[in-house]
Amino acid sequence: MEEEILRQRLWRIRQIEALGFKPYGHRFDFTHTIPEIWQRYGDAPASELGPDVRVRICGRVHTIRRMGKAGFAHLLQGGQKLQIYVRKDSVSEREFTLYQKLLDLGDIIGVDGYLFRTKTGELTVHVSQLDFLAKTLLNMPEKWHGLEDIETRYRQRYLDLIANPDVREVFIKRSRIIASLRRQLEARGFVEVETPMMQPIYGGAAARPFVTHHNALDLDLYLRIAPELYLKRLVVGGMDRVYEINRNFRNEGISSQHNPEFTMLEFYQAYTDYRGLMDLSCELLAQTAIDATGSPVVTYQGHQLDFSRIRRLSLREAIIEYWPGSPKPTWEQLADPRWLSQHATADTPGAALVELFERVTEDKLIQPTIIYDYPVETSPLAKSKEDEPDFVERFEIYAGGMEIANAYTELNDPLEQRRRFEAQLERRARGDEEAHQMDEDYLRAMCYGLPPTAGEGIGIDRLVMLLTNSRSIRDVILFPLLRPEPEIGLAAKLRALEEELAATRP
């Protein structure tokens, strides 16, 4: 079938050329995009349309209804469709032959004509001239079920975008979300920067990295797991408000909330602390929700998430509040290493607390919630609380049961940082692959003085999930990582058919 289709289409290309058209055109100067036509003329009554309202538009043939000496088609462009009407006595003979005999669903054409309304009232272009712009060689997905097969949707996202209008909307919203965040940060004096993706020492998070190699320097490099340590070097250099929106790479499992490469907004603001960033986060998230959806209240998987009223509670309060059954643990028990070791497997009291939090609380945090004050053991780059040195000034934001942000007052004491790094090295020596490495170059930067600073990372993909009501991270990443397809075999097929066709003189 596929081979037969290809043969037909290649044969048609030859016929298209014989009529004096180019099967793959160069340029088409249009007067309106299809969305612009709808915006300008969507409400225009028939009396305001007619031969005087001339337009040139282009798009992909989405449906086609041919009658003997006339026909209708819908062109698709910019996610919207517009009908065209082609009559034998309104176009040249070669144009009508092209329309009637050589046009396939999916071909890209341009038309010149005037706007009118059909007897059912549909806005339509009455075509007077028809240009051919690109031939499709393969069958398009079916027109009303769309493309359902998840694997094909991810592997051939272009088909997904053509066939499923909702998908296009998700990625347009994604773009709007990122633009909104940029706009808001710029308005507050933040400067966008780009720091290395390839790093000799990876840091800023606890994760396993991807390794690559630079040949000329004969140097192993890591794809970054976070930009944190570079962004803070910039704060040392006097860039008091910096941010970066870019990819991080973590060599971990894949799930509906994890892709090996994912997009993170990370920003640093000097002279504030985590309380300041809590306030900033609330403003950013509420405005981003408004810019993406028109409202700070968004529907996510049947829940109404309100980004204008973000609750704040400490990690320990959250454990107590969400503890299943009773009696709930007391504040004293959460401070008791023996009680903690009886209720968790982690090897330190702080790690046990985090473990309990993740077990009893994380997936219950549906409404946007700030969780603050984390144990020092799990936060080697965060500043300790003045009155409670076993905890650090750190918060995370949860929504829809997912972690979407992580922030803290930055540890800016190089002597304390050295001790934290060394504690991490010990964990590493005990086999914790995700413990931080010593980064002396960063330590040196700190020795020149990092001002009091707070920094935050927001997982863009997860935020987009929340604001587009997407259940899987793969639905908000255009090309999620998949195993490669074994063999497509298209090149050989095309070569054979071209040779076959060359052997047949027209």
Partner RNA sequence: GAGCCCGUAGCUCAGCAGGUAGAGCACCGGCCUUUUAAGCCGGGUGUCCUGGGUUCGAAUCCCAGCGGGCUCACCA
Give, as ranges, the residues between 83 and 102 that touch RNA (CB under 7 A).
83, 85, 87-89
Tell me how many residues contact RNA (CB under 7 A).
75
- Single residue of 145, 338, 430, 505 touching RNA by CB under 7 A: 145
In angstroms, rounded to a whole number, what is the distance separating the alpha carbons of residues 453 and 125? 60
Contacting RNA within 10-69 (CB under 7 A): 63-69
User: Alpha helix (H) ranges present in 32-187?
Assistant: 34-41, 93-97, 150-155, 157-163, 165-187
Tokens of 157: 């996202």
> Considering the rule CB under 7 A, would residue 482 count as an interface residue with RNA?
yes
Residue placing its CB nearer to RNA in the complex, 176 or 343: 343
CB burial of residue 251 (10 Å; 0-12, 13-18, 19+): middle
What string marks each residue from 181 to 220 as x (binds RNA by CB under 7 A) or -?
------------------------xxx-------------
Residue placing its CB nearer to RNA in the complex, 54 or 143: 143
- Beta strand pairing call for 369-375 and 388-399: antiparallel
| DSSP 8-state secondary structure symbol assigned to residue 255 | B
**10 Å Cβ neighbour count for 389?**
9
Residue placing its CB nearer to RNA in the complex, 67 or 415: 67
The distance from CA 202 to its chain's CA centroid, rounded to whole angstroms, is: 24
Contacting RNA within 332-351 (CB under 7 A): 351
Q: By 3-state DSSP, what share of the chain in percent is helix, strand and coil, each rounded to 5?
A: 35, 25, 35
> Considering the rule CB under 7 A, would residue 122 count as an interface residue with RNA?
yes
> Considering the rule CB under 7 A, would residue 5 count as an interface residue with RNA?
yes
Residue placing its CB nearer to RNA in the complex, 293 or 348: 348
In angstroms, rounded to a whole number, what is the distance separating the alpha carbons of residues 140 and 113? 27
Name, in order, each residue with C-beta under 8 angstroms of 346's C-beta and a sequence gap of 6 or more: 352, 354, 355
Contacting RNA within 457-476 (CB under 7 A): 471-472, 474
Closest alpha carbon to 361 in 424, 330, 302, 317: 317
Minimum distance between the CB of residue 319 and RNA, rounded to whole angstroms? 14
Residue placing its CB nearer to RNA in the complex, 44 or 150: 150
- Beta strand pairing call for 241-249 and 261-270: antiparallel
> Considering the rule CB under 7 A, would residue 141 count as an interface residue with RNA?
yes
Q: Are 229 and 446 spatial neighbours (Cβ–Cβ below 8 Å)?
A: no
**10 Å Cβ neighbour count for 175?**
11
In angstroms, rounded to a whole number, what is the distance separating the alpha carbons of residues 160 and 474? 13
Q: Where are the beta strands (DSSP E) in 420-483?
A: 453-459
Minimum distance between the CB of residue 363 and RNA, rounded to whole angstroms? 8
What string marks each residue from 381 to 410 as x (binds RNA by CB under 7 A) or -?
x------------------------x----
Residue placing its CB nearer to RNA in the complex, 115 or 289: 115
Q: Are 101 and 95 spatial neighbours (Cβ–Cβ below 8 Å)?
A: no
In angstroms, rounded to a whole number, what is the distance separating the alpha carbons of residues 99 and 101? 6
Minimum distance between the CB of residue 409 and RNA, rounded to whole angstroms? 14
Residue placing its CB nearer to RNA in the complex, 252 or 390: 252
> Considering the rule CB under 7 A, would residue 144 count as an interface residue with RNA?
yes
Minimum distance between the CB of residue 390 and RNA, rounded to whole angstroms? 15
Contacting RNA within 215-274 (CB under 7 A): 250, 252-258
Residue placing its CB nearer to RNA in the complex, 243 or 357: 357
What string marks each residue from 421 to 440 as x (binds RNA by CB under 7 A) or -?
-------------x------
Contacting RNA within 279-318 (CB under 7 A): none
Q: What is the largest CA-CA distance in the chain?
A: 91
Minimum distance between the CB of residue 81 and RNA, rounded to whole angstroms? 9
Query: Which span sits near RNA by CB under 7 A: 118-126, 232-240, 268-276, 385-393?
Result: 118-126
